[in-house]
């Protein structure tokens, strides 16, 4: 894949991780109706599109066509890449919520450390680390695709489409996996037929129109994420590339650091929100929203910079890259 195409993927990731941070700000703390509607709109498509991008990159790396003797080694590497930070940040959040609740206002506080840690894997609808479920689910998306795609790709795609309508089993974030696995595979097919998608202005405009129509037509529907995710993802891929690179360098940089922002943004938002509400309770909703979104982006970027700068944090570098 050319350098320009990789830049375009980073731009998509930059936009999406910004939307993730906005979505992690709790509406009840803001008290603005327009923000609640905006957040609902964002949740209609941003994670499906993120999964499409993840699937695209998975297929780009060639992991969908691994030889049988390469699969186990890949499992080990992807577990290290995704599950290790999930466990580490998850435990950090559990303990952080438990102890900080004694001093600050905490969303979904942890009253028992053992129960909180257990909820990371069972009864995950009550998990204290809902904000990083993507890592756990992405691991299974990668593993299942690496094993079964070569055997029968279209049967696997049919399975993923039917999976959307399965019950929401409350274990191992199955409710998220069954919703989003199909988008992971769609992203893979976008890569396989990428020349049909990248820099297609008219096709992108058509998908964008369909995206906005579906956002209105299916508003409030439990399955609106399907048309919004598909059309929104296709629009992102088709329209990406019609830009001036210099004017979007921050978005590209944000995309390159999307892992660090994803892992750390809710911690940053939670700490800053607790401090603001404790020491400056009269802060207006608009200012609080601005401060939380900026904190959710800049604090993870700063921590990522520190980790890269000082060798003492060498062990953490690969997990924030």
List, for residues 20-34, the tens digit of each pLDDT value.
999 999 877 788 889
For 224-245, what is each residue's pLDDT tens digit? 899 999 999 999 998 876 655 5
Residues 6 or more apart whose CB falls under 8 angstroms from that of 160 comprise 181, 182, 184, 185
Question: Do residues 160 and 189 touch, judged by C-beta distance below 8 A?
Answer: no
pLDDT score recorded for residue 245: 52
Q: What is the DSSP string of 143-211?
A: HHHHHHTTT-HHHHHHHHHHHTTS----BTTHHHHHHHHHHHHHHHHHHHTGGGTTT-HHHHHHHHHHH
- pLDDT of 88 strictly over 50: yes
* pTM (predicted TM-score): 0.94
- For residue 314, what pLDDT is reported? 86
Distance CA 131, CA 189 (A): 27
Confidence (pLDDT) at 110: 95
pLDDT of residue 284: 92
**DSSP letter string over 208-237?**
HHHHHHHHHHTTT-TTTHHHHHHHHHHHHH
User: In the prediction, which pLDDT does 68 show?
Assistant: 86
**Beta-bridge partner residues of 122:** 171
pLDDT at residue 116, as a whole number: 96
pLDDT of residue 249: 81
**How many Å from the N-terminal Cα to the C-terminal Cα in the chain?**
20
Q: Residue 161 pLDDT > 70, yes or no?
A: yes
- Tokens of residue 297, six digits: 């982006």
Q: What pLDDT, on the 0 to 100 scale, is given for residue 219? A: 64
Inform me whether the pLDDT recorded for 258 exceeds 60: yes
**Closest among 225, 139, 136 to 173, alpha carbons compared:** 136
Dmax over CA atoms of the chain, in Å, equals 61
Instruction: Please determine, for residue 5, whether its predicted confidence score (pLDDT) is greater than 60.
Output: no
Q: Is 242 exposed, middle or buried (0-12, 13-18, 19+ CB in 10 A)?
A: exposed
Q: What angle do CA 165, 45, 41 make, to 5 degrees?
A: 110
Q: How far apart are CA 273 and CA 297, in angstroms?
A: 14
Smallest Cα–Cα separation from 127: which of 176, 169, 173?
173
pLDDT digits (tens, 9 = 90+) for 183-217: 999 999 999 998 888 778 889 899 999 999 998 88
pLDDT at 310 over 70: yes
> Do residues 47 and 180 make contact, with C-beta atoms less than 8 angstroms apart?
yes
How far apart are the C-alpha atoms of 137 and 75, rounded to whole Å? 14
292-312 average pLDDT score: 94
Q: How far apart are CA 161 and CA 181, in angstroms?
A: 8
pLDDT of residue 313: 85
Query: At 14, is the pLDDT very low, low, confident or very high (cuts 50, 70, 90)?
Result: very high
* CA geometry: angle 275, 276, 280, nearest 5 deg: 120
């Amino acid at each position: 894949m050319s350098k320009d195409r990789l830049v375009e993927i980073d731009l998509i990731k930059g936009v999406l991780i910004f939307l993730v941070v906005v979505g992690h700000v709790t509406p009840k703390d803001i008290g603005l109706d327009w923000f609640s509607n905006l957040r609902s709109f964002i949740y209609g498509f941003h994670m499906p599109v993120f999964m499409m991008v993840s699937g695209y990159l998975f297929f780009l790396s060639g992991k969908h066509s691994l030889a049988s003797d390469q699969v186990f080694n890949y499992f080990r590497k992807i577990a290290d890449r995704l599950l290790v930070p999930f466990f580490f940040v998850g435990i950090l959040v559990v303990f952080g919520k438990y102890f900080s609740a004694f001093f600050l206002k905490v969303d979904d506080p942890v009253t028992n450390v053992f129960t909180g840690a257990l909820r990371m894997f069972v009864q995950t609808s009550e998990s204290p680390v809902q904000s990083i479920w993507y890592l756990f689910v992405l691991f299974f998306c990668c593993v299942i695709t690496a094993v079964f795609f070569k055997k029968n790709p279209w049967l696997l795609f049919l399975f993923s489409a039917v999976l959307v309508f399965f019950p929401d089993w409350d274990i191992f974030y199955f409710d998220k996996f069954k919703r989003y696995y199909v988008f992971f595979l769609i992203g893979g097919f976008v890569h396989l037929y990428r020349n049909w998608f990248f820099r297609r202005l008219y096709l992108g405009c058509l998908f964008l129109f369909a995206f906005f129509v579906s956002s209105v037509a299916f508003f409030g529907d439990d399955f609106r994420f399907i048309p919004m995710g598909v059309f929104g993802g296709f629009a992102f891929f088709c329209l990406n590339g019609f830009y001036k690179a210099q004017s979007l360098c921050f978005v590209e940089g944000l995309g390159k650091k999307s892992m660090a922002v994803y892992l750390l943004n809710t911690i940053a938002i939670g700490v800053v929100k607790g401090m603001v509400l404790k020491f400056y309770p009269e802060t207006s909703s608009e200012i609080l929203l601005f401060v939380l979104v900026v904190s959710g982006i800049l604090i993870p970027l700063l921590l990522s910079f520190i980790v890269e700068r000082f060798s003492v944090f060498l062990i953490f570098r690969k997990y924030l890259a």
